[in-house]
Amino acid sequence: MNIKKAVTDHPIQPALAERWSPYGFEDRPVSAADLRSLFEAARWAASSYNEQPWNYLVATRENSQEFGRLLSCLVEANQAWAKVAPVLVLGIVSLQFAKNKQDNRAAVHDLGLAAGNLAVEATARGLSVHQMIGILPDKAREIYRIPAHFEAWTAMAIGYKADPAKLPELLKERDLAPRQRRPLSEFVFTGQWGQPSPLGLKRGT
């Protein structure tokens, strides 16, 4: 049973309801086949003009040197828990359109769509993804020689979530905390800003 499964006001797909971001991961590798499918899911995300402005740098704990390099691109607070994840990923975004070199205002949005695809595919396969904004972009650029107009934007830890009972107290509290989300009435508007849409009504109201 997924203790963090979302209690939704309206029906959604199971993988969306079951997806959450653990801080604890089992000491268990993720197969190359599963990782390929996760990135295949990201590959098929929608993007402005089909630009596909995302790139990924990947490291697994099986290669300790590469894993350590990527881990060093996270802020210290994220390194503390992410060091036990079997897979780390840096999400790199191209901030210019490849064809005309103009600024791509949709690029970060599109990287997020790709990450969403990846996270849902992971959940469907019994894996978990914890996304992070707490990274060191300049260090990533130096270590990986990331070219101009590309930027390390986010990171992900991927693996099998650990039993919260086995975690240190702080991580245990985080992984056992109930999931909360704003209701539709607070972010789906009609007519003017702040005026809730009828779509925001809960079932039976």
Q: What is the pLDDT of residue 144?
A: 98
By residue range, what is the domain housing residue 72?
14-164
Q: What is the pLDDT of residue 2?
A: 62
Q: What is the pTM of this model?
A: 0.93
Tokens of 113: 């769509």
In a domain, 36, yes or no: yes
Helical (H) or strand (E) element with 132: strand 128-132
When computed from its CA atoms, the radius of gyration of the chain, rounded to whole angstroms, is 19
- What is d(CA 74, CA 155) in angstroms, rounded to the nearest whole number? 8
Q: How many CB atoms lie within 10 A of CB 205?
A: 6
Q: What is the pLDDT of residue 159?
A: 98
Q: Which residue has the tokens 């929608």?
A: 46
User: What are the average pLDDT values for consecutive 10-residue runs of the chain, which has 205 residues?
Assistant: 82 94 96 98 98 98 97 97 97 95 97 98 98 98 97 98 89 90 94 92 62
161 in Cβ contact with 22 (< 8 Å) = yes
Q: What is the pLDDT of residue 1?
A: 46
In a domain, 173, yes or no: no
Q: What is the pLDDT of residue 165?
A: 87
- What is d(CA 154, CA 140) in angstroms, rounded to the nearest whole number? 11
Q: How many domains does the chain have?
A: 1
In a domain, 200, yes or no: no
Q: What is the pLDDT of residue 200?
A: 81
In a domain, 188, yes or no: no
Q: What is the CATH number of the domain that holds 140?
A: 3.40.109.10
